[in-house]
Amino acid sequence: MVYCGKPSRGCQMCRTRRIKCDETKPTCLQCQKSRRPCPGYKDDFDLVFRNETQATERRARKANTGKKVHPTVTFTGAHTSFSTAPELIIEDGSQALNTPSSDSDTFMGFGPLPALTIPVDQQAPCYFMSNYVITPRHAARGYFDFLMPMLKSENADSPIALAFSAVALASLAGRPVGRGTRWFGDSCLQYTKALRAVNLALQNPAQQLKDSTLASIIMLSFFENMASERGNASAWFSHVEGAVQLVKLRGKKQLRTKIGYSLFVCVRNAMVIQCMSSGKPPALGSEWWISDLANDDIGVFTIKLNLHVAELRHEINVALATYSRSPENFQNVVNLMKRAQAMEQEYQDWEASLPDEWKPRTVAWVDQIPGGEISKAEVCPGKVDMYEDVWLANTWNHSRVARLFISGSIVRCAAWICSPVDYRTTPEYAQSVRLCVDLVTDIIAGIPYHLGWRVGSNGTLATPGDMSSPSTSEAFSCPKALGGFFCLWPLFAVNNSDYSSDSQRNWAKGRLHWISENLGMKHAKVLSWVCSPSLSPFYISRL
């Protein structure tokens, strides 16, 4: 206990706002005037003595995690604010907003840990399972949920066991507490063993089409996200292409089992990103990947549109690179542009048809970042959105990235048609700018949710590091580092979009660095350096 000197006897709300309290009981008049719930008055003993143990622990964690920019909070209906960071305005003025505590860098318990006696080969699987595996609550909403039943029936030297060991060790080694250990070296050794085992399995007809072989390739591709520091994604592309070829060989009968369906969905999701980023059409055509599937409540429709976008982009790339400027080809390009506009309308119709619980909720607003350290801020100036679950948030952001590509395709067609006139004078360009500025803003607004921000049952907003928040237990029940993995593609798209402002681009780079440093995904830092012309929505340089 620490003696705190002469105390203020005002209510907690007035003390927080740093205004004089009239000490009227049971509710002070200051709170009543500003329409705030008065939290009441502390006990006389608590006013004089305070337990500083938790505050000391937070200061120790802060010293280890380095400097961080945190938001200052203001509430609607009042003009008082603290003086430490971006101003957050809660849309419902009757609800209080908690600022993240000083240990919010320790995402989901990533702070300094006491010495552990549990062997690393037991820690790593538990960490990976708790951070990256989602048990499906709805159809096709699981992620890596095939691992648990599969690992129970496999030997320790099987391809899937070795590949899982590699990625689990890499995920543990990437945490701040894992640096300087031998864990990363051990993960690379397991990766090498897994590669050799997978190659042998692919040469054996009896093992080639097994679920465990495909799962091993999926794990090896995920290892590249965890451990690769290369300037390109060639190794990841290679693993995804191998998984796609294996899915083709396995055929539609793989969808008859729960594990087979889960593996199929995982490969399909990776293939969509590969097709979008490379400009290649999906193997076997988009319809092969979406026919005969269970009617997912949200996933199948968006995947279908994303695959069609990938196909259309490939057609447009080929057409604009090879077409002569003849009347017939002019009409062909006009038709391609109309197809892209129809796809954009499909996305808008889909969004309008969703029930309210599947739509994002704007819960706060950021006005500015004190000191201008935008790259270190947890939130970017603008709105902050929340979702029902991380899978829905990921689906929304992937559809927004696809719409950025659609708008880029429309602008490219318009530029080809009006050449040599400046394409920026066309109505298609003006419409794309208005739309895509909003899409970039919406993508950014959902990133804090991916990285652990939550609204609790009492209406407070807090980060996972805010240990004093009553909503902390809810935040810990949500997917953890997987949210950071889901951020990689949207943040990469924002960083490479011509529609992003300089501050938005710097913030996206800062989040990618944060994911790399705190969540252990080394390739996130590489993505923050890469500038991909094919991801620029305008992509005019190739015309």
Please provide the DSSP assignment of 300-358 as one string: HHHHHHHHHHHHHHHHHHHHHHH--S-HHHHHHHHHHHHHHHHHHHHHHHHHHHS-GGG
Same domain, 265 and 356: no
The answer on pLDDT for 337 being more than 90 is yes
Q: Calculate the average pLDDT of the chain.
A: 77
290 found inside a domain: no
394 found inside a domain: yes
379 found inside a domain: yes
Q: How many domains does the chain have?
A: 3
Mean pLDDT of 69-95: 37
Same domain, 152 and 224: yes
Q: Residue 531 has what pLDDT?
A: 61
391 found inside a domain: yes
46 found inside a domain: no
Q: Residue 277 has what pLDDT?
A: 81
Q: Position 202: which residue type?
A: L
Q: Residue 288 has what pLDDT?
A: 85
The answer on pLDDT for 540 being more than 50 is no
313 found inside a domain: no
The answer on pLDDT for 85 being more than 80 is no
Per-position DSSP letters for 450-476, written without gaps between them: HTT-EE-TTS-EE-TT-TT-TTHHHHH
Report pTM.
Answer: 0.74
Q: Supply the range of the domain harboring residue 26.
A: 1-41
Q: Residue 326 has what pLDDT?
A: 92
Min mean pLDDT across 39-43, 300-304, 310-314 is at 39-43
Same domain, 133 and 259: yes
Distance CA 508, CA 499 (A): 13
Centroid of chain to Cα 325: 42
Of the candidates 400, 399, 419, the residue with the CA atom closest to the CA atom of residue 333 = 419
98 found inside a domain: no
320 found inside a domain: no
Q: Residue 81 has what pLDDT?
A: 31
Q: Residue 399 has what pLDDT?
A: 92
Distance CA 329, CA 321 (A): 12
With beta carbons less than 8 A apart as the criterion, state whether 481 and 167 touch.
no
Q: Residue 30 has what pLDDT?
A: 82
The answer on pLDDT for 59 being more than 70 is no
Same domain, 358 and 249: no
The answer on pLDDT for 370 being more than 80 is no
355 token code pair? 């029930």
282 prior amide bond cis, ω within 30: no
Same domain, 13 and 140: no
Same domain, 415 and 518: yes
Domain CATH number, residue 34: 4.10.240.10
Same domain, 237 and 360: no
Distance CA 204, CA 514 (A): 42
* Distance in Å from the first CA to the final CA of the chain: 71
Residue with tokens 């990285």: 451
Taking the CA atoms of residue 276, residue 536, residue 341 and residue 346 in that order, the dihedral angle to the nearest 10 degrees is 50
Mean pLDDT of 117-128: 79
Same domain, 273 and 337: no
With beta carbons less than 8 A apart as the criterion, state whether 381 and 369 touch.
yes
Same domain, 407 and 532: yes
- Summarize pLDDT for 249-264 with one digit per residue, the tens: 998 888 888 888 889 9
Mean pLDDT of 522-531: 78
Q: Residue 298 has what pLDDT?
A: 65
Q: Which residue has the higher pLDDT, 284 or 84?
A: 284
The answer on pLDDT for 88 being more than 70 is no
The answer on pLDDT for 295 being more than 70 is no
Q: Residue 435 has what pLDDT?
A: 94
Same domain, 430 and 522: yes
Same domain, 418 and 506: yes
CB-count burial class (<10 Å; 0-12, 13-18, 19+) for 201: buried
The answer on pLDDT for 536 being more than 80 is no
Distance CA 462, CA 104 (A): 9
Min mean pLDDT across 97-111, 117-131, 408-422, 508-522 is at 97-111
- Summarize pLDDT for 134-177 with one digit per residue, the tens: 766 554 467 888 888 888 888 888 999 999 999 999 888 877 76
Same domain, 128 and 254: yes
Specify the DSSP class assigned to residue 69.
B
The answer on pLDDT for 107 being more than 90 is no
Q: Residue 406 has what pLDDT?
A: 93
